[in-house]
Structure 1
Amino acid sequence: MKFGAVKTAEGEGAILAHSMQASQPPYDIGLCYRIAKGTALTAQHLADLTAEGHGQITVAWLEAGDLHEDAAALDLAQALVPDEEGQGIRISGAGAGRVNLYALGAGLVRLDCAALEALNAVDPMITIATVPDYHRVDGDGMIATIKIISYGVSAEVLARAGAAAEGALRILPPVFTSASLIETRVSREVPPDKGRRSMAGRLHRMGLSLSERVVVRHDEAELATALSAAPGEVLLILTGSATSDPLDVAPQALRRAGGSVTRFGMPVDPGNLLFLGEYQARPVIGLPGCARSPALNGADWVLERVLCGCPVSSSDIAAMGIGGLLKEIPTRPMPRRSD
């Protein structure tokens, strides 16, 4: 692509680089209009610009082998998403060198980060910006934008960029349809339903239903019995007293019921006191107390992966610490900073 200033009379067929004011025929009545940047200039445009007094204009010229920015953005999108239905992604129309990618339904965004970095390294004029890997998205939520920065790019270079990242984005939909939440109480009083409402909201946006409310004493045997009777495909535990050790009531109740604990604790704040396990081939998540709030916390990261069928290992949770400081909470009795 060539770019630069030319005499206005020589600009037919070029792409206007900057929006300009032009005179509107008949020129003697003084009416004007705006020619937007990116417009392919016609002879009439040039006459109108000349009448307004523009003797020189800045334009872009596509050369042999070049693609217009819109065609290039759409070609790249189709290279990245060759199977919209299978990848769970919708490709938008093209405009101003931009194409957006949207999720077809709720789920978790998975990215081949190395491939996308390779795409962005091919040519500075060819770009893609995405949400983070493992980002939860709702139906029709935007997950990426492809932008061709210049007015045109080489088709050969574009093909290299597309080949570097074919199929590098996908949406993992939820693989479960139901969950059970078991709550414990530490007194005779039934705890407020704030926690249940927050968890119901998290599950609903992923298309899962929540079974009837179950509240038991904060007791290992009672909790184990409730787990064995829970009907959900995913089992959630929210204790009335914080789970502070791998041998505390809730993890031990899971073991007593015949299940297993694969991880206790996570390097995400808020969310430290989470545990993860399994019972009769069903995932079990022991929720930290912060799950009573709808605000983002470490439990969200684990829950979303579990619901979308992503294996979550102890090492996966350990890796969440980088970027895991989610929010300062000034009202906590032990503040994290004193300066």
Structure 2
Amino acid sequence: MIYAEIDTEEAEGSFLAHSIKSRSGRLGKGHRITASDIDDLLKSDITKVVSIQLEEGDIHEDQAAARLGKAITGNGLSPSEAFTGRCNIHSTVHGVLSVSPSEVDSLNNINEAITLATLAPYSVVYPGQLVATAKIIPLAAPVEALKSAEKTTRIVAHPFKVHKVGLILTRLPQTKDTVLEKTRSVVNQRLKNCENKLETTITVAHKSAEIAQAIKKLSSENHDLILIFGASAIVDRRDSLPKGLELAGGTIEHFGMPVDPGNLLLLGNHTKATVIGLPGCARSPKLNGFDWVLQR
């Protein structure tokens, strides 16, 4: 790419490095100069322009951005028309964004002319939301570098899947009905935020045997996601909720999570259902670790 200040009368076919105003209006950065543009510029007493000329192996910023945007756009996303070396990528679904930071880093290290910026992995996205931008920094990029970038990564937006969801609430003698109702309402709103809803709610005593029976009932009714909110937090694999899951014939996959709030979360399964023992913070509508598990 040749970048230089040249005589206006010799600029036909080159691209403006900077926007410029003439008597007839404004010519934008990257505009390809025509014979009529030259006539207009000269009549405006503009005798020199800063422009670029593409050399063999170069590709114009808009063409490069369009190619890169198309190459990295996976399911659930749509690339916009490229402009000023930029191709914006928008979500077409309500769901979760899948992007590999290491692959994005690799792409951004190929050549300084070629860049990609995205939302964080696992971000919740909505239809029409901007989730990524492919940007060519100068007015042209090397074709060979672009070819490498096109093969580096692909980002996807996964729409939320609809599940049949059951909720088990446990209570102690002192547990108030208002607390149970608030918990049910908050959990249901979380599900709605992920395009789901509560199908069934069962309230039982905070005893392993009763929890086990409730799990079996929901599983037999083909609930594929069973949430358990205990009257007291889970503190050990031998606590009431984990023990109830095992009594029902289920298995514990993992207990505890390196997220605060939300670290006392239990993950398991029963037949074909995923079972999640909720942390106490899930009683609040504020963001916590359970949201990230539920969204994914």
Structure 2-normalised TM-score?
0.88
* SS of equivalent to 2:184: helix
Query: Where in structure 2 are there 5+ consecutive unaligned residues?
Result: none
* SS of equivalent to 2:109: helix
- The residue aligned with 1:259 is 250
Per the TM alignment, residue 22 of structure 1 is displaced from its structure 2 partner at its CA by 1.2
- The residue aligned with 1:243 is 234
The verdict on how the C-alpha distance between 1:48 and 1:295 changes in structure 2, with shifts beyond 3 A counting, is: farther
1:139 counterpart = 2:127: yes
Letter in 1 for 2:90: Y
**Superposition map of 1:33-44 within 5 A:** 33-44=25-36
Letter in 2 for 1:211: E
The 8 Å contact of residues 73 and 148 in structure 1, kept in 2 or not, is answered as yes
Per the TM alignment, residue 222 of structure 1 is displaced from its structure 2 partner at its CA by 2.2
What is the CA–CA distance in structure 2 between the aligned matches of 1:247 and 1:129, rounded to whole Å? 45
**Superposition map of 1:1-339 within 5 A:** 1-24=1-24, 33-81=25-73, 84=74, 87-165=75-153, 168-186=154-172, 187=174, 189-190=176-177, 191-230=179-218, 231=221, 232-305=223-296
What is the CA–CA distance in structure 2 between the aligned matches of 1:188 and 1:148, rounded to whole Å? 60
RMSD: 2.2
The runs of at least 4 aligned residues of structure 1 exceeding 6 Å deviation read none
The 8 Å contact of residues 90 and 103 in structure 1, kept in 2 or not, is answered as yes
What is the CA–CA distance in structure 2 between the aligned matches of 1:228 and 1:256, rounded to whole Å? 10
What is the CA–CA distance in structure 1 between the aligned matches of 2:8 and 2:149, rounded to whole Å? 35
Query: Where in structure 1 are there 5+ consecutive unaligned residues?
Result: 25-32, 306-339
Aligned residues: 291
Letter in 2 for 1:294: P
What is the CA–CA distance in structure 2 between the aligned matches of 1:18 and 1:60, rounded to whole Å? 10
Per the TM alignment, residue 188 of structure 1 is displaced from its structure 2 partner at its CA by 5.1
The 8 Å contact of residues 212 and 248 in structure 2, kept in 1 or not, is answered as yes
The verdict on how the C-alpha distance between 1:255 and 1:124 changes in structure 2, with shifts beyond 3 A counting, is: same
The 8 Å contact of residues 224 and 273 in structure 2, kept in 1 or not, is answered as yes
The 8 Å contact of residues 68 and 150 in structure 2, kept in 1 or not, is answered as yes
Q: Can you list the C-alpha shifts for 1:83-128, whole angstroms capped at 9, x where unaligned?
A: x5xx332222211111122333233322344333222111111111
Letter in 1 for 2:143: A
The 8 Å contact of residues 171 and 231 in structure 2, kept in 1 or not, is answered as yes
Deviates most, 204-213 or 227-236? 204-213
- The residue aligned with 1:317 is none
What is the CA–CA distance in structure 2 between the aligned matches of 1:22 and 1:140, rounded to whole Å? 37
Deviates most, 222-231 or 278-287? 222-231
The verdict on how the C-alpha distance between 1:226 and 1:149 changes in structure 2, with shifts beyond 3 A counting, is: same
Per the TM alignment, residue 60 of structure 1 is displaced from its structure 2 partner at its CA by 1.9
Per the TM alignment, residue 176 of structure 1 is displaced from its structure 2 partner at its CA by 4.4
Q: Can you list the C-alpha shifts for 1:35-92, whole angstroms capped at 9, x where unaligned?
A: 22222222333333334343322212222332221111111222224xx5xx332222
